[in-house]
């Protein structure tokens, strides 16, 4: 049994995330950690396995107990054989060039014999149906495929406790169901304790044994329908980008299965935009665009680059519904907070065309509504928006039309 006793954490700004948390994690359980953006869900998983405060700037007190033995003073690698963590951004944890070597890394470091390592690789690859990826380079995979590989690498270590940060956030419906079924089997058949963060306590085909709720949201849910359709009929300017045509103020949803090339299409649209089109893009990993040590420095730099009045980008950030601590390190923010920060920075220069790659990933319902509101407002002001997403509920009522990317090209989806 893995136990947390009087577990307390404050972030890099001194803000308390949770206080005196007392939780038991039992083998065979499927546990959800829920809560709004910034409540500390990801930080909790990192703290359980010791990554916080070892590698992240936060203060943790209380005790971690594993099978009646205190492990609070142990380093992450000293508990890796029992507790495994899968990041929401799997590329941050990759250490090998190929999928096979990435999956092999954990059990090899634990001292398993070569034949045992090979057997584990084939076993987890079969479970997750990624045998065809074993000899591919991890950096060439789609975001969804990278998530599957990260989960496979965690399973290959043979841990009793597997902690996953939004494990299906990058996956389409088919792959999400596959992962959920695998996690259920791990708990039911292998008696592994599976703990995952989520914004949906009724996620897909998963049936949780318990849900741990962290914090409560102070972000009001807003209706986006009030502005979603206020664009006038006179907004008819077109953007012709290698047979990809949009009207000013139009919102297009770009869908398709994992690994079909949606992100590459966005890159092509961005690269192909003519000099007369002001095009900005928010990638699937917004943190890649954050380079300074504080939120304040990021916002100030954006104002300087755009030659706007000081505080302009911060005001745009607040308009998105976020009021971040200026001295917080961007890398310590939640995925939703990082997205909002990057969106505010990218939009600090006026855009004719905005490209969003899976912007809804890792956001809870209230923040999703704020994001939908922001997208609708931009479209109402004349910005054309392309949104890549697997989340049909997020796209419903927001987009004007849907384009689905298939093996044969782009297809207009009838609505």
Q: Tell me, what's the pLDDT at 296?
A: 94
What per-residue confidence (pLDDT) applies to 239? 42
pLDDT level of residue 352 (50, 70, 90 thresholds): confident
Cα–Cα distance, 66 to 157 (Å, whole number):
17
Between CA 168 and CA 108 the distance in angstroms is 27
Q: What residues contact residue 278 under an 8 Å CB cut-off, 6+ apart?
A: 349, 350, 351, 352, 353
Work out the widest C-alpha separation in the chain, in whole angstroms: 70
pLDDT-derived band at 221 (thresholds 50, 70, 90) equals: very low
| 79-122 tens-digit pLDDT | 988 999 998 878 878 999 999 999 999 999 988 999 999 999 99
Average pLDDT of span 30-51: 89
125 vs 178: CA distance, rounded Å: 12
Residue 218 confidence (pLDDT): 31
Concatenated DSSP letters for 282-330?
E-S-GGGG--SSSHHHHHHHHHHHHT--TTHHHHHHHHTT----TTS-G
For the cut 90, the answer to whether the pLDDT of residue 336 exceeds it is: no
Q: pLDDT, tens digit, for every residue of 270-287?
A: 877 666 778 888 988 888
- Planar angle of CA 256, 342, 163, nearest 5 degrees: 65
Per-residue pLDDT, averaged over 3-11, amounts to 91
**In the 3-class helix/strand/coil scheme, how is 360-389 assigned residue by residue?**
CCCCCHHHHHHHHHHHHHHHHCCCEEEEEC
CA 52 to centroid of chain Cα atoms: 19
Length of the chain: 415
The rounded distance, in Å, linking the Cα atoms of 347 and 306 is: 10
Tokens of 228: 């979603």
Give the pLDDT confidence score for residue 227 in this predicted structure: 22
CA distance 323 to 296: 11
Asked if 127 and 144 touch (Cβ cutoff 8 Å), the reply is: no
Residue % of the chain over a pLDDT of 90: 33
Instruction: Specify the range with the lowest mean pLDDT, choosing from 203-207, 219-223, 313-317.
Output: 219-223
> With contact defined as beta carbons under 8 Å apart, do 323 and 270 qualify?
no
pLDDT range class, residue 399, cuts 50, 70, 90: very high
Q: How far apart are CA 32 and CA 41, in angstroms?
A: 10
Neighbours of 399 (CB within 10 A): 24
Q: Please give the Cα distance from 209 to 193 (Å, whole number).
A: 11
CA distance 227 to 232: 11
pTM over 0.75: no
- CA dist., res. 170 & res. 13, Å (int): 30
Q: Would you say residue 230 has pLDDT above 60?
A: no
Instruction: Over range 387-415, report the average pLDDT.
Output: 86
Given a cut of 90, is residue 334 above it in pLDDT?
no
Bridge partners, residue 413, by sequence: 402
Q: What is the mean pLDDT of the chain?
A: 83
> What tokens appear for 230 in the block?
């206020």
**What SS3 class is residue 139?**
helix
User: Above 50 in pLDDT, residue 46?
Assistant: yes
pLDDT at position 91 is: 82
Binned at pLDDT 50, 70 and 90, residue 243 comes out as low
For 46-61, what is the mean pLDDT?
90
pLDDT, position 415: 64
CATH 3.40.50.300 domain locations along the chain: 2-213, 225-413
- Using alpha carbons, select from 81, 82, 73 the residue that is nearest to residue 53: 73
Q: What is the pLDDT of residue 260?
A: 84
Catalytic amino acids? 166
Q: Which residue in 36, 39, 263 sits closest to 170, CA to CA?
A: 263
CATH class of 2-213: alpha beta
Residue 236: what pLDDT?
33
Non-local (6+) Cβ contacts of 205 within 8 A are 177, 180, 181, 184
Q: Which pLDDT band, with edges at 50, 70 and 90, does 223 fall under?
A: very low
Q: Determine the pLDDT at residue 202.
A: 57
Look at residue 196 in the predicted model and tell me its pLDDT: 93
User: What pLDDT shows up at residue 98?
Assistant: 96
Rounded Cα–Cα distance for residues 356 and 359 (Å): 6
Q: What is the C-alpha end-to-end distance of the chain, expressed in Å?
A: 50
> Confidence class of residue 297 from pLDDT cuts 50, 70 and 90?
very high
Q: What would the CATH number be for the domain defined by 225-413? A: 3.40.50.300
Q: Strand 161-165 and strand 193-197: pairing?
A: parallel
- 165-218 pLDDT tens trace: 988 877 777 878 888 888 888 888 889 999 999 876 656 567 888 888 887 433
Phi first, then psi, for residue 362 (nearest 5°) are 85, 15
Give me 384's structure tokens: 């054309």
For the CA atoms of 234, 348, 281, 326, the dihedral, rounded to the nearest 10 degrees, stands at: -140
User: Could you read off the pLDDT of 54-78 as tens digits, one per residue?
Assistant: 888 889 999 999 998 999 989 888 8
Residue 30 has which token pair?
């499927």
Confidence of residue 219 (pLDDT cuts 50, 70, 90): very low
- Predicted confidence (pLDDT) at residue 134 exceeds the cutoff of 80: yes
Average pLDDT of the residues in 355-373: 82
């Amino acid at each position: 049994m893995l136990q947390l006793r009087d577990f307390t954490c404050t972030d890099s700004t001194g803000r308390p995330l949770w206080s005196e948390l007392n939780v038991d994690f039992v083998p065979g359980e499927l546990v959800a950690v829920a809560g709004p953006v910034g409540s500390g869900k990801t930080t909790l998983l990192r703290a359980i396995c010791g990554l916080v405060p070892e590698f992240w700037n936060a203060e943790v007190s209380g005790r971690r107990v594993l099978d009646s033995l205190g492990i609070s003073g142990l380093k992450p690698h000293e508990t890796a054989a029992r507790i495994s963590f899968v990041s929401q951004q799997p590329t941050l944890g990759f250490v090998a060039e190929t999928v096979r070597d990435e999956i092999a890394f954990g059990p090899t470091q634990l001292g398993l014999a070569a034949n045992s390592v090979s057997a584990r690789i084939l076993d987890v690859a079969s479970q997750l149906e990624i045998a065809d990826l074993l000899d591919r380079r991890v950096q060439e995979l789609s975001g969804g495929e990278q998530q599957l590989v990260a989960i496979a690498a965690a399973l290959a270590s043979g841990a009793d406790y597997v902690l996953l940060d939004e494990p299906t956030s990058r996956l389409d419906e088919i792959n999400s169901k596959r992962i959920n079924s695998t996690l259920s089997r791990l708990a039911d058949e292998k008696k592994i304790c599976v703990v995952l963060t989520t914004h949906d306590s009724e996620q897909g085909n998963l049936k949780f044994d318990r849900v741990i709720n962290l914090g409560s949201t102070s972000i009001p849910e807003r209706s986006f329908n009030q502005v979603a359709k206020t664009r006038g009929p006179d907004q008819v300017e077109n953007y012709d980008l290698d047979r990809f045509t949009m009207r000013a103020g139009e919102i297009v949803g770009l869908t398709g299965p994992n690994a079909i090339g949606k992100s590459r299409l966005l890159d092509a649209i961005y690269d192909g935009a003519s000099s007369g089109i002001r095009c900005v893009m928010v990638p699937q990993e917004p943190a890649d665009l954050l380079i300074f040590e504080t939120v304040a420095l990021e916002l100030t730099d954006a104002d300087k680059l755009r030659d706007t009045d000081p505080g302009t980008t911060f005001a745009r950030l607040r308009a998105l519904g976020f009021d971040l601590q200026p001295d917080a390190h961007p890398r310590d923010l939640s995925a939703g907070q990082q997205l909002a920060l990057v969106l505010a920075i990218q939009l600090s220069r006026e855009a004719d065309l905005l490209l969003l790659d899976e912007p809804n990933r890792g956001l809870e319902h209230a923040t999703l509504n704020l994001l939908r509101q922001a997208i609708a407002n931009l479209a109402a002001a004349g910005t054309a928006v392309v949104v890549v997403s697997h989340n049909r509920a997020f796209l419903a009522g927001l987009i004007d039309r849907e384009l689905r990317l298939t093996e044969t090209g782009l297809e207009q989806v009838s609505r």
